[in-house]
Amino acid sequence: MSKEQAESFAWKVMNESTPGKPAPEHKLRLGVLISGSGTNLQAIIDAIADGTLPGVEIALVISNSAQAAGIQRALNHRLPVIYLPWRKFPRDAFLREMTPNEAQIAGLLQFFRVDLVVLAGWMRILSAPFLERFNRRVINIHPALLPREGAGEIYILSNGEQIPVFRGMHAAQMALDAGISITGSSVHYVTPVVDAGPVICQQEVAIEPGDTEDSLQERLKLVEHKLIVEAIKQLL
């Protein structure tokens, strides 16, 4: 990376690291992208610490929000963390090339030798050119049950019941609005079509009487903490 390229990055390095230093043994190096509280990031940190994820390390954490609580989680564990201000670009820019922000992320992922990118509460859509660059190396957690191969608008529950597939924001509220009794969470590969990549692992979650979006979301998060660890373990 040239000096000019480095200076053009609108990011702030919030911890020191030595990304160029060779590791004594190969580990799966994660790049974790966050936008908020970072509870899924914490689940990964804890799983590495207690030996549930042997041979895994977090190489880099990137946040597009300076207020994200996940930044402090990363600092508490002495992980390299970068705040990258996110600029909006015309929607058609996503169809032809990476945006400047995505080019910055791609450069950082390469610089920190990241093997797998984990979107852990990352609230930005990534373009097709970016995902082509990291084909089957980006995974996401989604608070709904997705078809195993990604495509389709119907999901068949373990009891044989069919429910709609809820993609995009506010999937928990969509499940409540649909009046179904079971929803769930999925970890999937990220593709240009939002929440439509092949599923790595998932789990059903019952909707309880009186559930609100917040109460259901909290129970889904508990499942997600286990699923994201399981997905990474499967990819070792």
Give pLDDT tens digits for 13-28.
444 445 555 545 789 9
Bridge partner residues of 34 (DSSP): 63
Least confident of 6-10, 64-68, 180-184: 6-10
Catalytic annotation on 77? no
CATH of the domain at 111: 3.40.50.170
Domain that holds residue 232: 142-236
Q: What is the pTM of this model?
A: 0.87
> Domain check: are 88 and 44 in the same one?
yes
Q: In the numeric block, which tokens belong to residue 107?
A: 């450069």
Based on the domain organization, do 79 and 183 belong to the same domain? no
How far does the chain reach from its first CA to its final CA, in angstroms? 29
Q: Which of 26, 142, 188, 225 is catalytic?
A: 142
Q: Which of 6-20, 48-62, 94-108, 156-170 has the lowest mean pLDDT?
A: 6-20
Q: Are 214 and 131 in a shared domain?
A: no
pLDDT in tens, 79-121: 999 999 988 766 555 557 898 999 999 999 999 999 999 999 9
Instruction: Give the pLDDT confidence of 19-52 residue by residue, as tens digits.
Output: 555 545 789 999 999 999 999 999 999 999 999 9
What residues does 182 pair with on adjacent strands?
206
Structural domain ending residue among the three candidates 107, 135, 163: 135
Are residue 126 and residue 232 in the same domain, yes or no? Answer: no
Shared domain for 102 and 28, answered yes or no, is yes
Handedness of CA 196, 199, 201, 205 (dihedral sign): positive
